[in-house]
Structure 1
Amino acid sequence: MTPILGANQYGKAESRVVRIVRDTARHEIRDLNVSTSLRGDFAAAHITGDQSQVLPTDTQKNTAFAYAKIHGVDSIEDYAIALGGRLLEATPAADQAQVRVEEYAWDRLGDHSFVRRGGAVHTAVVTVTRAGVHVISGVRDLVVLNSTDSEFKGFLKDEFTTLAEADDRILATSLVARWRHTTAEGVDWAGVDWNASYADALDILLRTFAGTYSRALQETLYAMGTALLESRPDLAEVRFSAPNKHHFLVDFSGFGVGGLTNDGEVFIAADRPYGLIEAEVTRADAPPAGDAWLAVPGFC
């Protein structure tokens, strides 16, 4: 038997790139976590140890830092497109360069003072090929909660089912959502306002979550994905990964306090185990994804 080398890629993971813009006395900050990877004909490196076609991961890291200065970071998508293009140009044996970026938000305290904002993280995964560009924007750690207008009942039961049906419950999740921008021929990536696109997509998702009566988290995710695709013809699909952050009503009946009732007011927030709901909503006429989703962590 002769072993055959299968799919492979290599790169530099999680370079922490912080770009301060000092053009005026009022500074700006972009705080990024950047991972790069190259795919292509690197068989010789694996089989014979020949590194002549391998751009070192250290060079990939250095390019990520250099491009934060050379190209700038007006948006993480635009930065990732430029960085991916440069890595592909510098590596003849590669046919794809993928750049994954997370951006951490800071709130302004003054002209040159900031406080790190917790919560949601803006993400982007850009795959640059010899034939074109694929862009996936998204958000993770988006913690949302509806304190009512959610039920869960009528579910399948067997001898191991103990969960009680709920007519009114808390619905909460720490959402991961990623949406793929269309790869239709003629798309002018340079003309996209990525920051406005992200803000609008996030607003649609949040408004839909808040405005949807939910019979299950699955129904809410589908409603959010549908609203996003109906409002944004430039998007081809959206994927969700949503851990159900369970809140269980505290039973006061055993407490030594007479007449103490709990009318949906006090809950235990349980962190594990948790239900994990994942779904994809795709436009019927969407251009094919190709390799856009390769190496995107998890379901989405």
Structure 2
Amino acid sequence: MSSQSVLASARYGKDLVRVFRVVREGSWHHVVEYNVKVLLEGNIETSYTEADNSVVVTTDAMKNITYYLAKISPHILSPERFALHLGTHMVSKYAHIHKSFVTVEKLRWSRIPVGAEGQEQPHPHAFVRDGADKRTVEVEIDASAGKDKIVAKVSSGIADLLVLKSTGSAFTGYIRDEYTTLREVDDRVFSTSVDLKYTFAPFAISAPTDAKGLDFPAPSQDTPGGVWDGEIVAERVRTATLEIFALDESASVQATLYKMAQRVIAENADVQTVTYNLPNKHYIPVDMKYIGVDNTTPSKAEVFVPVAAPSGLISATISRKQG
């Protein structure tokens, strides 16, 4: 075999572990549905370089641990806390595993309102998928410095949040040269599929105290805007994104994006960075001049063709100012 190559890095694991959990509090039920990915790093290089499987934690075991913790973890209803619990267990159980990477995608389920109009109440155990957007959580658990010196990094976010407004958006004043065919508009349809990630400051995790490494002593409370406050932060971030999108008299996608991120950082004390990816969803007015109908003047444009590609893509990361 060639001596000119070296294994620079390696991680492996299980992807697309689908988990649905019902938590019963008498007749009042909670449900969560997750797609989970687990990756491991550590002293596993010989499985690649020497075909030595004795260092391999099987991906089947990773899947089964995920299901088992989904059953016993008191943190299952919070994707941040559940991911931290799962990742911490992985590095605590296996001496040669030094890092774990857990990604959780949470699908939307909301209670169905029932009752007379104006007096609706959320049903205790009936739910509806009320949107295609998903909450996302990415956790890195690092025990490289020792099993009693675990450090966690957490990023959360939203994916596939499709939004549109039919006015309140313009795009003018950009560079015009021989390659520019785009017309300036002071009123246009603005639509995008929001993909955002917000990252918390790294923090220490207490090592499990039980022999099997299943204990996870998460605090019951956290400062507002912190990772243990994940459900409230997620709702705050979603609300900020939607409200800024709706209310901003947008001069550009870039300008609106920046206002969204500013509010997320201002409202959540432990969020360090916010990254938005906002692809344009184009709606092109149909030209009806051939039959004497004006459908291209912005104030008269009412019939559009949705165009999937090509698409503009606006992206930026906004960080908390230090000092």
Is 1:38 matched up with 2:29? no
Identify the residue that residue 280 of structure 1 maps to in structure 2: 317
Match 1:125 to one of 119, 138, 150: 138
Distance 1:65 1:281 in 2: 36
CA positional deviation for 1:189 = 5.9
Is 1:104 matched up with 2:107? yes
With normalisation by structure 1, the TM-score equals 0.88
**Is contact 1:53-1:91 (8 Å) kept?**
no
Displaced runs of 4 or more, over 4 A: 184-189, 258-262
DSSP-derived class of the 2:40 partner:
strand
Counterpart of 2:132 in structure 1: which amino acid? Answer: G
Distance 1:111 1:149 in 2: 39
**Is contact 2:153-2:203 (8 Å) kept?**
no
* Seq. identity, %: 32
Counterpart of 1:196 in structure 2: which amino acid? Answer: I
Counterpart of 2:133 in structure 1: which amino acid? Answer: A
**Is contact 2:285-2:304 (8 Å) kept?**
yes
**Is contact 1:53-1:92 (8 Å) kept?**
no
Distance 1:136 1:194 in 2: 10
Distance 1:184 1:90 in 2: 21
Task: Judge which range, 171-180 or 39-48, deviates more.
Answer: 39-48
Match 1:209 to one of 235, 240, 245: 245
Identify the residue that residue 113 of structure 1 maps to in structure 2: 126
CA shift digits 1:7-65 (9 cap, x unpaired): 22101001000101234223221111000101223211110011222211111111111
DSSP-derived class of the 1:113 partner:
strand
Identify the residue that residue 155 of structure 1 maps to in structure 2: 174
With normalisation by structure 2, the TM-score equals 0.82
Distance 2:205 2:104 in 1: 25
CA RMSD of the aligned region, Å?
2.1
Is 1:136 matched up with 2:155? yes
**Is contact 2:151-2:205 (8 Å) kept?**
no
Distance 2:295 2:174 in 1: 28
Distance 2:62 2:295 in 1: 61
Q: What stretches of structure 2 of length at least 5 have no aligned partner?
A: 113-122, 144-149, 207-216, 222-227
Distance 1:193 1:140 in 2: 20
DSSP-derived class of the 1:4 partner:
coil
Distance 2:43 2:203 in 1: 27
Q: What stretches of structure 1 of length at least 5 have no aligned partner?
A: 287-300
Distance 2:185 2:93 in 1: 58
Distance 1:204 1:162 in 2: 34
Distance 1:69 1:184 in 2: 26
Distance 2:9 2:245 in 1: 39
Report which of the two structures shows the higher radius of gyration computed on alpha carbons: 2
**Is contact 1:41-1:94 (8 Å) kept?**
yes
Identify the residue that residue 225 of structure 2 maps to in structure 1: none
DSSP-derived class of the 2:26 partner:
coil
Identify the residue that residue 86 of structure 2 maps to in structure 1: 83
Distance 1:138 1:232, change over 3 A: same
Distance 1:186 1:7, change over 3 A: closer
